[in-house]
Amino acid sequence: MNEFLSFAIGGLPFACSYALVAVGIVLTFRATGVFNFGFGAMAYGAGVTYVELCSHGVPSWLSLLIVTVVLAPVFGALLDWGLFRRIRTADLTSKVVTSLGLMVFLPSMVQIVIGSTTVYSAPAPFLSTYFTTLFGISISGPVIATLVTTIVVLMVMTLGLRSRRVGLTLRASVQSPRLVELHGVDSGKVLRNAWMVSSSLAALAGCLYAPQFATQNPSAYNVLLTGAVAAAALGAISSFTLAVAGGVLLGVLQGVIPGYLSPNSVWYGALVPSIPFFMLLIMLLTHRGFRSLDRSKDPMSVVEPPTAPPGLARRSEILGFSGRIVNWLAVVGLVIVAIIFVPEVWVGTLTIAASMAIIFLSVTLLTGLAGQLSLAQMVFAGMGAYGTARLSTHHHWSLGMSLIAGTMIASLGGLVASLPALRLRGLPLALLTLCFALLADNLIFPATFVGSGSSSIGVRRPDIFGVDFSGPFSRNYLVMVVAFLAMTTFGVRLLIHGTTGRMLTAAHSSEIAAASSGVPMRRTITIIFMLSAAVAGLGGGLYAIALGSLSTPDFNSALGPVLLVVVITMGAASVRGALIAGVAFVALPQALALAPSRFGGGGQSSAITIVVLSVGAFTYAQHPEGIVTFIQGRLKVAGLRVRNLRGDSR
C-alpha cells in the first residue's frame, strides 16, 4: 500500500498540470467553441519564461506570479483580440486550424526568441527545500505546494462559474454569443475573460511542469497537451469535474504503472508513454458525447450559416482559361529548366522537395477536398517509407515492387484510420488521428520489425531497365520523383474539378441534404481517406529513397500538424498550395542556412521556416483559399484596375 501511495504521489505534479490544462481546454471550448491545441505550446512558453526569469535571479515565487498573473492573461487577451474574436462564427474546422497554427507557431517562436532549448533546471515555485513525512511516506515540499495551488485555483474557478453573474452569462454566450448580445450582454467581454483565465491556467500548469525537467523542449509539453486532452475527453470536453478527475487519474496512473514494471521490459518503453493516448482513444471511440460535438448548436446558425469549406474556391476559378494555360506552361517550363540546369548540390534538395510535395498533396486531398482534418498524414508517409525501405533492403524486393507495397501498406493504414471517420468528423476525428499518430510514434515505428529502434536503416536506390538512379545527386531519380509528382497532381486535380469535388462540397455544406440526395458519404470518405494515405505513403517511400537511410525522427508525429498547417496556409483548395508548400518547406531552411546569422541564418533556420509557413493558419477563417490564391486574386484585381485605367485614358 505504502509503495502504491508513494508511486501515486510521484505522479501528482503531472496530475495537477494535466488537470489545469484540461480545465483550460474545457473552459475555452465551452466558452468560445475553440478547441485550443495551442495550450501545450502556451504552457511551454510560460515554462520557458519562468525558467528564464529564475535563471536571472528573480525569486521563483515572484517569477510564477509574473508569468501567471501578468503575462499569461495579457497573452490570452491578445489571442482573443487578435485571433479568436475574429473567427467566432466560423465553423469548427477553421477554429481547429487556427489553434493548430498556434500549436505549431508558438514553440518555434519561443526558440527563435530565447535561442535553442533552455538547459537551466528551474526550482519549484514554493517550498523547494521543505520535506515532510506523512503516514510513513516522504512527501517533498514542491509536491505539496503544487497540490495546494492547483486545488485553490480550481476551487476559485468553480465558485466563479457557479455564480449567476459570471457562470450564467458564460453558458449563454457559449450557446449563442449573438443571441446574448441581443439581450444586452457584452459577450465579447465574457469570451475575453474566458481566454484570459484559461491562458493563466495553462501558464500555471507550465510553471508547475517546468521544474520536472532538466531541459525544456516542446515535445514534453506535447505530452502535457495530449494528457490534458485525454483528461478533458473523460467528460466529452464539457464537464470540469470529470476533466479534473481525468487529469488526476492519468497522472496517478503514470506514476503507478511504471513503478510496477521493470524499466528494461518492452512494455516500459512502449506502453508507459502511451497511457494518455489509450485513454483518449477509448474515450473517443466509446463516449457518445463526441458524436454530437460537431453539430452547430447556435440557434443563429440558421440565420447566418457557417463559413464555407476551402473546396469552395474551386467553383470561382480566378484565372480565365488562357490564364490557366499560361500558368501551367510556366510551371512545366520551370520544372524542366530546374531539372536540367539546377546545380548538382541542389538536386538532392529538389528531389526531397518534390517528394514532400507529394506528401503535402495528401493533405490537399483529405482536408481541401473532403474537409476532414487528419494529423496522422506523416504517419501514413512513414508507413510508406518504412514499408519501402524494409522490403527493398531486408527482403530484397525490387524497388518498384516495394514502393507499390509501401503505398498499399499506407493505404491500409488509411482504411483503419477511416473506420472511426464514418461516425466522427471534424474535431473528434482530428483528435483520433492525433492519437493514432502518437501511438504510431511510440509503438509502431520504434518496433524492431518495422525500423530498427533508434538507429537508422539503409534504403537502396533503384536501378530500373538499366537506367541508374543511384547516388545522392542523381538527376534521373529527380526526374522519376517529379514524374510521380505530376501524376499525383493530375489525379488530385481530376478529383477536385470532377464529380467528387462537387459531391463533397455539397456534403460539407449540408450533410443531411446530401444524404437525402443519394450521396454515398461513407463510401466516398473511406475511399478518399485510403487514397490520401496512399499518396502520403508514395511520397514517404520516394522521400526515403531520396534520403538513402531512415531513422525515427524523419517521420515524427509532431510533423503531422505542421503538414496540415503549412498546406492550409498555402491553400488547401487547389494543388498549387501543396506544390509551393513542398518547395518552400525544403528550400527555405536551406536558403536560410546559407544566409548570414543576422538574418536568421544558421541554427534557427528550421524554426524560422515553420514560423513563416504557419502564419497563414491565423487568417484561414477569413481566407480559406490560402495565401497563394489570395495573392493571385489580388494580382488579378490589380491587373484589371490597370487595364481600366488604360481604357479610361484612351
Stretch that binds other proteins, among 139-147, 345-353, 412-420, 523-531 (CB under 8 A): 523-531
Stretch that binds other proteins, among 126-134, 139-147, 521-529, 573-581 (CB under 8 A): 521-529
d(CA 434, CA 281): 10
- The string of DSSP letters for 77-122 reads HHHHHHTGGGGTTS-HHHHHHHHHHHHHHHHHHHHHHH-S-B-PPP
Question: Of 216 and 629, which has the nearer Cβ to other proteins?
Answer: 629
Number of residues binding to other proteins, judged by CB under 8 A: 35
Closest approach, Cβ 593 to other proteins, in A, equals: 40
Q: What share of the chain is helix, strand, coil (3-state, %, to 5)?
A: 75, 5, 20
With CB under 8 A as the contact rule, the residue among 291, 502, 623, 636 that binds other proteins is: 502
Closest approach, Cβ 384 to other proteins, in A, equals: 19
Closest approach, Cβ 319 to other proteins, in A, equals: 19
Cell numbers standing for residue 28: 475555452
Question: Of 158 and 307, which has the nearer Cβ to other proteins?
Answer: 307
Polymer length in residues for the chain? 650
Question: Among residue numbers 432 through 491, which ones bind other proteins (CB under 8 A)?
Answer: 491
Closest approach, Cβ 531 to other proteins, in A, equals: 7
531 binds other proteins (CB under 8 A): yes
Closest approach, Cβ 433 to other proteins, in A, equals: 20
- Which amino acid type is present at position 458? G
Q: Element (H or E) spanning 458, and its range?
A: strand 457-458
Cell numbers standing for residue 641: 484596375
With CB under 8 A as the contact rule, the residue among 71, 514, 538, 608 that binds other proteins is: 514
d(CA 520, CA 511): 10
Question: Of 302 and 645, which has the nearer Cβ to other proteins?
Answer: 302
Contact string (CB under 8 A) for other proteins, positions 118-157, x = contact? ----------------------------------------
Question: Of 220 and 521, which has the nearer Cβ to other proteins?
Answer: 521
Question: Of 49 and 418, which has the nearer Cβ to other proteins?
Answer: 418
Stretch that binds other proteins, among 170-178, 511-519, 537-545, 559-567 (CB under 8 A): 511-519
**Contacting residues for 333 by C-beta, under 8 A, at least 6 apart:** none
Neighbouring C-beta atoms of residue 516, cutoff 10 Å: 9
d(CA 554, CA 495): 30
| Beta-carbon-side half-sphere exposure of residue 134 (alpha carbons within 13 Å) | 10
Quote the DSSP letter at residue 452: B
318 binds other proteins (CB under 8 A): no
With CB under 8 A as the contact rule, the residue among 282, 486, 519, 591 that binds other proteins is: 519
Quote the DSSP letter at residue 290: G
Q: Element (H or E) spanning 294, and its range?
A: none
With CB under 8 A as the contact rule, the residue among 133, 165, 302, 343 that binds other proteins is: 302
292 binds other proteins (CB under 8 A): no
Closest approach, Cβ 372 to other proteins, in A, equals: 14
- Which amino acid type is present at position 110? V
524 binds other proteins (CB under 8 A): yes
- The string of DSSP letters for 567-623 reads HHHH-SSSHHHHHHHHHHHHHHHHHHHHS-GGGT-GGGHHHHHHHHHHGGGGGTTT-
649 binds other proteins (CB under 8 A): no
55 binds other proteins (CB under 8 A): no
State whether the Cα torsion 582-369-379-474 is positive or negative.
negative
Question: Of 296 and 456, which has the nearer Cβ to other proteins?
Answer: 296
d(CA 361, CA 576): 9
498 binds other proteins (CB under 8 A): yes
- The string of DSSP letters for 299-346 reads GGGTTSPPPPPGGGGGGS-SS-HHHHHHHHHHHHHHHHHHHHHS-HHH
Closest approach, Cβ 520 to other proteins, in A, equals: 5
Closest approach, Cβ 312 to other proteins, in A, equals: 4
528 binds other proteins (CB under 8 A): yes
Provide φ and ψ at 127, rounded to 5°: 50, 40
d(CA 319, CA 304): 29
Question: Of 507 and 565, which has the nearer Cβ to other proteins?
Answer: 507
With CB under 8 A as the contact rule, the residue among 179, 521, 587, 612 that binds other proteins is: 521
Question: Of 112 and 412, which has the nearer Cβ to other proteins?
Answer: 412
Question: Of 110 and 358, which has the nearer Cβ to other proteins?
Answer: 358
Closest approach, Cβ 328 to other proteins, in A, equals: 17
527 binds other proteins (CB under 8 A): yes
Provide φ and ψ at 89, rounded to 5°: -95, 5
Closest approach, Cβ 101 to other proteins, in A, equals: 24
Closest approach, Cβ 495 to other proteins, in A, equals: 5
Q: Which of 352, 362, 308 is nearest to 566 (CA)?
A: 362
Question: Of 243 and 531, which has the nearer Cβ to other proteins?
Answer: 531
303 binds other proteins (CB under 8 A): no
Residues that bind other proteins (CB under 8 A): 302, 305, 308, 312, 315, 491, 494-495, 497-503, 505-506, 509-510, 512-524, 527-528, 531
